[in-house]
Amino acid sequence: MKPAPFTYFAPRSLDEALSLLGQYGSDAKPLAGGQSLVPLMNFRLAKPRYLIDLNHIPELAYIRGEDGFLVIGAMTRQFEAEASDDVGRLVPLLREALKLVGHPTIRHRGTIGGSLAHADPAAELPAAAVALGAEFVVRGPGGARIIPAAEFFVGPFTTVLGADELLTEVRVPATRPGTGYAFLELSRRHGDFAIVGVAALVDLGPDGRVERAALALCGVGPTPVRARQAEAALLGASPTEDRFREAGELAAGETNPASDIHALADYRRRVAAVLVRRALLAATERARKGG
Amino acid sequence: MADVHPVKVTVNGTTYEATVESRRLLVDFLRHDLGLVGTHVGCEHGVCGACTVIMNGRTVRSCLLFAVQADGAEIMTVEGLARDSQFHPLQEAFWEKQGLQCGFCTPGMLMRAYEFLKENPNPTEDEIREAIAGNLCRCTGYQFIIEAIQEAAARMAGTAGSR
């Protein structure tokens, strides 16, 4: 199908974009890479009366390291982040997750901020952001506010963003040297949305035991799921396959998947348990090698 | 009143100026307004890859871009592959290796393969499979497509520097 008619704006600055959003509010949609919004418009599931194209705002596209954070402008293209040395050095988990987002052709247009603000429960980047403890800078008429990733996602395709607000920047704490990481997913074909995905970070102490573990899953609930019980159970544990199997079972119990055309809820839970175990093993292997 | 905008784009080296409605998809602009019907419209939601074109040096889904967004852009479509009545080595290889059956996915396959071989002129079979994973062939002729891309890579290596 073809999109319903709309009025198109191409603001040249963030202030101009915010003023347009303030003027048109919920009748308007900001357009980032368009790899999710335009399909919805082509299906007429989304019929914004005003489309505010953010692709002409260079001040929203940047990547830099800053005081222990990787800082990414919301309009940074996914393929640029994937190729960035700063991303690979400071937050290697993010690079691993990015390689699983759609296909290279999709990542040429798709943006970091667009994927996060779209909040697809099966998407990789929201789960990675939650596992990494990222913070989102949001700007609106009242100025800027900073929202932790864990509080940003409230439901399928729903975030705390107001109709007059824009996600402008993502701040990811730099991963400690020596931290192991892994992003694993099961999908029908390479590049498809995940049936289940898992982001894992593991720190090993000097005694070789787990000092810290972070686990977040996608595809198993209305928002990314942080597996807190599994993380707590891993503290001080020996990094063995048996302990990771137990952590996988715990994590699966923390998920709340739905059944749909792609997979039944119970199948998703079983896959979650297996992927958590494998992601913990892969992350531990990297931690042993120094991250 | 329809919301219209002037656009100026260069497609396969020719510059076009037109006025488009804001909801005009780039793929429909190429096909209906410019008459470049080599680019195909498949799923219209970014899944099948049939509408893949190269914009400013990188492949994009032309069904997920509005024509107004391409203002000032340089675009290459499948019509830009052949030069002076000479097929591009990719086109020759697709022809000779039966890399197409119904031909619907072919323009997208060719544009993606064109970009991919520039990045990786000597790919393995697995790399080719991954590279075209975003382009669907409903005749399921993938094996011949992969062989065609391998053949094209070999031909292009033999004529290094041509294009």
Reported ipTM: 0.94
Q: Does A192 have pLDDT greater than 90?
A: no
The residue ranking higher by pLDDT, A142 or B152, is B152
CATH number at residue B135: 1.10.150.120
Nearest-CA distance from B115 to chain A in Å? 10
Region of residue A46 (left: phi > 0; alpha: psi -120 to 50; beta: else): beta
Residue B161 scores a pLDDT above 70: no
Q: Is A34 on the interface with B (CB under 8 A)?
A: yes
Mean pLDDT, residues A118-142 taken together: 97
End-of-domain residue from the set B20, B47, B80:
B80
CB < 8 Å to B63, chain A: 38, 42
Q: Whole-number mean pLDDT of chain A?
A: 97
Instruction: Decide which of B62, B80, B98 is a domain's last residue.
Output: B80
What pLDDT score does B51 carry? 98
Identify which of A53, A105, A191 has the shortest CB distance to residue B69: A53
Torsion of CA A163, A168, A174, A175, to 10 degrees: 40
Residue B75 shares a structural domain with residue B93:
no
- Chain B: give the shortest CA distance to residue A109, in Å: 7
Rounded to 5°, angle at Cα A225 from A219 and A227:
125
The beta-carbon neighbor of B134 closest among A6, A38, A106 is A106
d(CA A291, CA A99): 18
Of A42, A102, A108, the CB nearest to B63: A42
Domain around B76: 4-80
- At A34, the pLDDT band (50, 70, 90 cuts) reads very high
* CA-to-CA dists, residue A132 to A70, A91, A128, A165, A171, angstroms: 11, 9, 6, 24, 10
Residue B163 has pLDDT above 60, yes or no: no
Q: Report yes or no: B134 at the A interface, CB cutoff 8 Å.
A: yes
Topology classification of domain A7-53: 3.30.43
Number of domains within chain B: 2
Chain B partners within 8 Å of A79 (Cβ): 58
Q: Tell me the average pLDDT across A205-229.
A: 97
Same domain for B128 and B105: yes
On whether both B107 and B56 belong to a single domain, the answer is no
| Tens digit of each residue's pLDDT (9 = 90 or more) over B41-70 | 999 999 999 999 999 999 999 999 999 999
Q: Can you give the pLDDT at residue A7?
A: 98
Q: In the prediction, which pLDDT does A191 show?
A: 81
- Tell me if chain A has a CB within 8 Å of the CB of B23: yes
CB contact under 8 A, B60 and A109: yes
> Do B96 and B60 share a structural domain?
no
Write out pLDDT tens, residues B67-97.
999 999 999 999 999 998 899 999 999 999 9
Say yes or no: B118 and B152 in one domain: yes
Q: How confident is the model at residue B160 (pLDDT cuts 50, 70, 90)?
A: low
* A160, A152 Cβ separation under 8 angstroms: yes
Question: CATH number of the domain at A58-173, out of 3.40.640.10, 3.40.50.150, 3.30.465.10, 3.40.50.170?
Answer: 3.30.465.10
Residue from the list B22, B64, B131 with its beta carbon closest to the beta carbon of A109: B64
**For residue B163, is it within any domain?**
no
Contact B133 A103 (CB under 8 A): yes
Q: How far is B3 from chain A (nearest CA, A)?
A: 6
Q: What number of C-beta contacts closer than 8 Å exist between A and B?
A: 81
Cross-chain CB nearest to B45 (options A42, A53, A103): A42
**Does residue B131 share a domain with residue B63?**
no
Residue A200 has pLDDT above 50, yes or no: yes
Task: Identify the domain boundary among B45, B80, B115.
Answer: B80
Nearest CA in chain A to B126: A190
- The verdict on residue B64 lying in a domain is yes
Q: What percent of chain A has pLDDT over 90?
A: 96
Q: Are residues B62 and B98 in the same domain?
A: no
Residue A263: pLDDT over 90 = yes
Please compute the mean of the pLDDT values over residues B141-157 and round it to a whole number.
Answer: 96
> Do strands B74-76 and B4-11 pair parallel, antiparallel, or not at all (unpaired)?
parallel
Mean pLDDT confidence for A271-285 = 98
Clarify whether residues B63 and B98 are in a common domain.
no
Q: Which tokens go with B65? A: 């871009």
- In a domain, residue B26? The reply is yes
The residues of chain A that CATH labels 3.30.390.50 are 180-288
Amino acid A200 reads A
CA of B23 to nearest chain A CA: how many angstroms apart?
Answer: 6
Distance from CA of B32 to the nearest CA of A (A): 14
Residue A248 confidence class, pLDDT cut points 50, 70, 90: very high
Tell whether A1 lies on the interface with B, counting CB pairs under 8 A. yes
The third-level CATH classification (topology) of the domain covering A180-288 is Enolase-like; domain 1 (3.30.390)
Q: Mean pLDDT across the stretch A48-61? A: 98
Mean predicted confidence (pLDDT) in A260-289? 97
% residues pLDDT > 90 (chain B)? 93
User: What's the whole-number average pLDDT of chain B?
Assistant: 95
Within a domain: B148: yes
C-alpha–C-alpha distance, residues B148 and A17, integer Å: 47
Asked if A262 reaches chain B (Cβ–Cβ under 8 Å), the answer is no
Q: Any idea what the CATH number is for the domain that residue B75 is in?
A: 3.10.20.30
Tokens 């000032």, located at residue: B72
* Alpha carbons A85 and A291: distance in angstroms, whole number: 16
Query: Which long-range contacts (C-beta less than 8 Å, at least 24 apart) are formed by B93-96?
Result: B93/B148, B93/B149, B93/B151, B93/B152, B93/B155, B94/B145, B94/B148, B94/B152, B96/B148, B96/B151
